[in-house]
Amino acid sequence: MLAVGFGGMAGTLLRVWIYAAVPGAFSLWAVNIIGSFLIGFAVMKLSGKSAELRLFISTGLLGSFTTFSAFSNDWFRELESSVVAGAVYGVAMTAAAVAAAIAGLWLGRKGVRE
């Protein structure tokens, strides 16, 4: 639990830093896409490491760095103004995050001997 808690604290602070550094809605996209990429990468690179390290990095640090709740809030706001815009926003964010995670898995797999 401590590994997840300390990782979560660090990830939240990193997210706040990105929000301060990146203007407007781009900050949410940045944390979700970067975080998804890093989660995919971490899955490959940490596969043989301790459970505590994997929990610290994936669940704690990167899980709190990314934010589904802020995405949902923005998505619902978009849906209220326009169903089409909301649908496009939701599909685009989800597709971008999944593509980033796949890229992270792929890049993390390079150098991992099977």
Count Cβ atoms within 10 A of the Cβ of residue 1 and give its class: 0-12 exposed, 13-18 middle, 19 or more buried. exposed
- Domain edges within the chain: 2-109
Give pLDDT tens digits for 56-98: 999 999 999 999 888 999 999 999 999 999 999 999 999 999 9
Handedness of CA 102, 107, 110, 114 (dihedral sign): negative
Quick one: tokens of 85?
A: 């815009």
Residues annotated in a binding site: 63, 66
pLDDT band at 24 (very low <50, low <70, confident <90, very high): confident
Helix pair 68-81, 26-45: axis angle to 10 deg: 140
Residues annotated in a binding site for Na(+): 63, 66
70: phi then psi, degrees, rounded to nearest 5: -70, -35
Of 31, 41, 100, 96, give the one whose Cα is nearest residue 65.
31
Please give the mean pLDDT across all residues of the chain. 92
